[in-house]
Structure 1
Amino acid sequence: MIAPNLRSGVEQLGDMIANASVIVPFTGAGISTESGIPDFRSPNGLWTRNRPIPFDEFVARQDARDEAWRRRFAMQDTFAAARPGRGHRALAALYKAGKVPAVITQNIDNLHQTSGIVANDVVELHGNTTYARCIGCGKRHELDWVRHWFERTGYAPHCTSCDEPVKTATISFGQAMPTGEMRRASELAQHCDLFLAIGSSLVVWPAAGFPILAKESGAKLVIINNEPTDQDEIADLVIRYDIGETLGPFVGN
């Protein structure tokens, strides 16, 4: 069912939240645009300005690694200035109220953690861009260290422990999805009674399968997204209005 207007959508969502015992939110880039972080597929999105660098290119070529880090540091001020929006804060309120055991996210911006959700309860399917890891031994490297290296040498860094390349702790095209996070997301989807897909185009697989899995496991499915998705027809409620406006009434509840 597509909500005929914002007020009706918020009222129906409120009733569904009140009647639910276990709510699992699944968030995409749309929840963070209010925070100033551009999405990927819109006319002004990140992918319209730069072709994504696949993982195999990052591994094989120094110039690809250099370009990946140049892009990341070009976005540093945007990520550093971002603060949780109304959508993040509404989900944090539901989490603190005991309704939400964890949040599944496709985002890499750390804003769910900043909003007050414990890091272990943010299931990051695509990783986190606020720190880096060695692709060999997995050692964590802080961005300040990476930037110092990059600015001093002009080249992307190698790990101080094993000399393998260091990249943001994100999942690139062609890189294996994190098995632990995928397993936990699957378990969450199968054991909730309300699944909220928020700000995701639902076209990136296998992550886009979680709303379907939740629905098939007996949960009510709500999709909140400005644009239509391929899964709208199976949803119990579709709200095609601004995420901040839609979830704003639930901040602090």
Structure 2
Amino acid sequence: MTDARERAGRPPLVALLSGAGISTDSGIPDYRGPQGMWRRDPEAEKLVTYEYYMADPEIRRRSWLMRRDSPTWRAEPNAAHRAVVELERSGVPVRVITQNVDGLHQRAGLDERKVLELHGTSRRVECTDCRASGDMAEALARVEAGEADPPCRECGGVLKSATVMFGQSLDRRVLGTAMEIAQACEVFVAVGTSLQVQPAASLAGIAAESGARLVIVNAEPTPYDELAESVIREPIGRALPALLAELARDRAG
């Protein structure tokens, strides 16, 4: 299949769609898995739902405490993140489309221009009124100093993390670029994602329908398993490095 695609002029691009499961080994819990945050505490969804966040100051105060105490600030890239960087450094063109907001792909060493953050980033804040942006660390320092719901310094508006909350739409430009990558890639690896959240999940189907080799690495079944050339249920920290090392060897050969 690979040789035929190369003769047809397809670029040897490897695209990865990463979800929360790739970061659990870094100490960041997932959301929809058996021990996921939303299953353990359904009320927590309100803290990241735009309608509730904007309407209720108490929700905002609780959200800021959740951000302050997030394991993201202590997390380090794990073997799976590093394996993606190693594949890219081997000379294989790589693009990461991530549903995560933790920034660990970039911290592992992947050029930020090669990472599309579908759901934004938790490392920045933005004003819901004037759209001014800033560093999350500075906002959290204000929370530590006693501002339970720190307003925008520019206009006094409501601040939120620069993430896409429930009830908000994805950035059209980012999603459009992600679709282009899914259509153009030779291999599409969906790793650590339930493939249940649209439109991100549809990227796996777009890739498969466009002729890419679809590989799914996830502990639980997904709606796209039947379209995949292979489905891997092994732990991501072991399975993804092995898979990407094989892809690198195939290219070197």
Structure 2-normalised TM-score? Answer: 0.86
Match in the other structure for 2:193: 200
Look up the equivalent residue of 2:155 and give its one-letter code.
Answer: C
**Structure 1 residues 113 and 175: alpha-carbon distance in aligned structure 2, compared to 1, 3 A threshold:** same
Deviations 1:156-186 (A, max 9, x none): 1111112211111111100121112101101
**Contact kept? 2:18, 2:190, Cα under 8 Å:** yes
Match in the other structure for 2:28: 37
Structure 1 residue 235 corresponds to structure 2 residue 228 = yes
SS in 1 for 2:86: helix
Deviations 1:36-58 (A, max 9, x none): 11000234322223421210111
Match in the other structure for 1:5: none
Q: Quote the offset at 1:191 in angstroms.
A: 0.5
Question: Which stretch has the larger CA shift, 217-226 or 128-137?
Answer: 128-137
Q: How does 1:127-142 map to 2 (within 5 A)?
A: 127-142=120-135
Match in the other structure for 2:166: 173
Q: Quote the offset at 1:248 in angstroms.
A: 2.9
Match in the other structure for 2:6: none
SS in 1 for 2:145: helix
Structure 1 residue 27 corresponds to structure 2 residue 7 = no
Match in the other structure for 1:123: 116
Look up the equivalent residue of 1:96 and give its one-letter code.
Answer: R
Look up the equivalent residue of 1:204 and give its one-letter code.
Answer: V
Query: Higher relative contact order at CA 8 Å, sep ≥6: structure 1 or structure 2?
Result: 1
Structure 1 residue 61 corresponds to structure 2 residue 52 = no
Q: Quote the offset at 1:251 in angstroms.
A: 6.2
Structure 1 residue 214 corresponds to structure 2 residue 195 = no
For the residues of structure 1 that align with 2:93 and 2:37, how far apart are their CA atoms?
30
Question: Which stretch has the larger CA shift, 182-191 or 85-94?
Answer: 85-94
Look up the equivalent residue of 2:190 and give its one-letter code.
Answer: A
Look up the equivalent residue of 2:67 and give its one-letter code.
Answer: R
Question: Which stretch has the larger CA shift, 56-65 or 43-52?
Answer: 43-52
Match in the other structure for 1:248: 241
SS in 1 for 2:169: coil
Structure 1 residue 163 corresponds to structure 2 residue 163 = no
Q: Quote the offset at 1:96 in angstroms.
A: 2.2
Deviations 1:99-121 (A, max 9, x none): 23320000011000011111121
Count of paired positions: 233
The unaligned stretches of length 5 or more in structure 1 are 1-19
For the residues of structure 1 that align with 2:241 and 2:120, how far apart are their CA atoms?
26
**Contact kept? 2:152, 2:159, Cα under 8 Å:** yes
Question: Which of 181, 186, 191 in structure 1 is aligned with 2:179?
Answer: 186
For the residues of structure 1 that align with 2:245 and 2:186, how far apart are their CA atoms?
21
**Contact kept? 1:86, 1:251, Cα under 8 Å:** no
Question: Which stretch has the larger CA shift, 92-101 or 211-220?
Answer: 92-101
For the residues of structure 1 that align with 2:34 and 2:240, how far apart are their CA atoms?
25
SS in 1 for 2:17: strand
Q: Quote the offset at 1:247 in angstroms.
A: 2.1
Look up the equivalent residue of 1:40 and give its one-letter code.
Answer: Y
Aligned-residue sequence identity (percent) comes to 38
Match in the other structure for 1:143: 136
Question: Which of 93, 98, 104 in structure 2 is aligned with 1:111?
Answer: 104
Look up the equivalent residue of 2:33 and give its one-letter code.
Answer: S
Match in the other structure for 2:69: 74
Q: Quote the offset at 1:92 in angstroms.
A: 1.1
Q: Quote the offset at 1:154 in angstroms.
A: 4.0
Structure 1-normalised TM-score? Answer: 0.86
